[in-house]
Amino acid sequence: MTVPVDSLLNVGLVGAGRIGSLRAEALAHRVPQANVVAIADANLDAAESLAKRCGVLRTYRDYQELLDDPDIGAICVSTPTNTHAEIMVAAAAAGKHLFVEKPVALDLAEVDRALDAVDRAGVLLQIGLNRRFDPTFRRVRQAVLDGTIGDVHLLHIISRDPAPPPLAYVQHSGGLFADMTIHDLDMARFLVGSEVTSVYAQGTVRISPEIGAAGDIDTAMLLLVFQCGALATIENSRQAVYGYDQRVELLGSRGGISTGNMFPNEVTISTADAVRRDLPMCFFLERYAESYALETRSFVESVLAGRPPSPSGVDGRKALELAIAARDSLASGKPVAIAVG
């Protein structure tokens, strides 16, 4: 459905941290059909600073004040993971449409509770799995949809961070699979277009002993089996010293398609000693800047058009289910079967 150009959605933002700032700036400067009415954050100074940058007039310390604001039709939730479900339940009860960063929670029962509240309230929900909106990855998906590469046989996803996150973040992240791999698990479902029936994971600590002491891993490999018969591997590392490494290769019955890393420029330097170029983009905020803006716009347009947004709550739940399966596989050393219904 085409959204009328004069439609406008009043949006409230909960969370003024790194991701909250990204969302607010996208809504304020990249989504013409969005009007950011208010920002709430327990750190009121952060909310006020972000509001000033984005031309937002209202700020709140308590997000419930934002939910009570009758001018707001939808909210973006960019707070720590352990607060998502609580805010979703309250926002749904207030009749607000929802955009929520992944994951909804770290426990499937808590996710189900939040999704049930959304369903009962009849509000719309989109989960922040931004890589589905990356133009490069969408081109890979299109090659599957239009039959260019035929039936999917193999998928390989490489996802490596340039450096480990702060230890304080690791301790509350839910672990590498729920924090980092969850994006790749969602991408695997999206690109192949089939459900995962089995997850086998291996992981170790090769980079940061502190991460290991916190009970997490920093290096992992996963093998996925799909209902359609395709296989996928996912490779994760918390440290690629040369930059943010994000690549995909997909092989099908009629050919293959692959993506390379993105660079800040296209310059190649050739000398008598070597042919070289600058390092890849340094982190996710740069590499996926366009995808964040596109998914934010997609949410606003979906709400204005009254159509179910995508990725849905079910997509978010499935990604978490696969991340939990990877964790269980790592603990047991065996593949974990996934029920497909």
Pair (107, 163) in one structural domain:
no
Q: Give a yes or no: residue 274 inside a domain.
A: yes
Distance, in Å, from the CA atom of 59 to the CA atom of 306, rounded to the nearest integer, reads 28
Pair (275, 161) in one structural domain:
yes
**Looking at residue 120, what DSSP letter applies?**
H
Q: Give a yes or no: residue 293 inside a domain.
A: no
The whole-number pLDDT of residue 3 equals: 45
Place of tokens 């995962």: 196
Q: Give a yes or no: residue 164 inside a domain.
A: yes
Nearest to 104 by CA among 124, 121, 125, 119: 125
Q: How far apart are the first and last CA of the chain?
A: 29
Distance, in Å, from the CA atom of 199 to the CA atom of 181, rounded to the nearest integer, reads 12
Using the 3D structure, point to which of 82, 100, 123 is the last residue of a domain. Answer: 123
Mapping DSSP to helix (H, G, I), strand (E, B) and coil, where does residue 151 land? coil
Find residue 245's DSSP bridge partners: 160
Q: Would you say 311 and 98 are in contact if contact means Cβ atoms under 8 Å apart? A: no
**Strands 245-252 and 152-160, sheet pairing:** antiparallel
Structure tokens at 25: 């700036």
Q: Give a yes or no: residue 3 inside a domain.
A: no
The whole-number pLDDT of residue 282 equals: 87
Q: Give a yes or no: residue 296 inside a domain.
A: no
Instruction: Give the range of the structural domain holding residue 78, as residue numbers without chain letter.
Output: 9-123
Pair (97, 191) in one structural domain:
no
Distance, in Å, from the CA atom of 46 to the CA atom of 69, rounded to the nearest integer, reads 20
Half-sphere exposure of 242 (CA within 13 A, CB side): 10
The whole-number pLDDT of residue 285 equals: 87
Using the 3D structure, point to which of 67, 101, 123 is the last residue of a domain. Answer: 123
List, in sequence order, the alpha helices (H) in 195-288: 209-213, 284-287
CATH number at residue 210: 3.30.360.10
Cis peptide before 308 (omega within 30 of 0): no
Pair (104, 199) in one structural domain:
no
Q: Give a yes or no: residue 298 inside a domain.
A: no
Pair (84, 189) in one structural domain:
no
The whole-number pLDDT of residue 85 equals: 98
Mean pLDDT by runs of 10 across the 341 residues of the chain is 65 96 95 97 97 96 95 96 97 98 97 98 98 97 98 98 94 94 98 98 98 97 98 98 96 97 94 95 91 97 97 98 98 97 76
Q: Which residues contact 101 (CB under 8 A, 6 or more apart)?
A: 19, 77, 78, 79, 81, 84, 127, 128
Q: Kindly report whether the global pTM for this prediction surpasses the value 0.85.
A: yes
Find residue 275's DSSP bridge partners: 270
Q: Would you say 83 and 64 are in contact if contact means Cβ atoms under 8 Å apart? A: no
Structure tokens at 117: 């509240």
Pair (111, 139) in one structural domain:
no
Q: Give a yes or no: residue 220 inside a domain.
A: yes
Structure tokens at 161: 């961070």
Pair (282, 138) in one structural domain:
yes
Pair (16, 142) in one structural domain:
no
Tally of domains within the chain: 2
Helix (H) or strand (E) holding 224: strand 219-226
Distance, in Å, from the CA atom of 192 to the CA atom of 152, rounded to the nearest integer, reads 7
Cis peptide before 162 (omega within 30 of 0): no
Pair (164, 85) in one structural domain:
no
Structure tokens at 338: 């996934």
The whole-number pLDDT of residue 1 equals: 39
Q: Give a yes or no: residue 215 inside a domain.
A: yes
Pair (103, 165) in one structural domain:
no
Pair (209, 155) in one structural domain:
yes
CATH number at residue 54: 3.40.50.720
Find residue 39's DSSP bridge partners: 13, 59
Using the 3D structure, point to which of 123, 150, 169 is the last residue of a domain. Answer: 123
Q: In sequence order, what DSSP letters do the residues of 279-299 get, joined into one string?
A: PPP-SHHHHTHHHHHHHHHHH
Pair (226, 247) in one structural domain:
yes
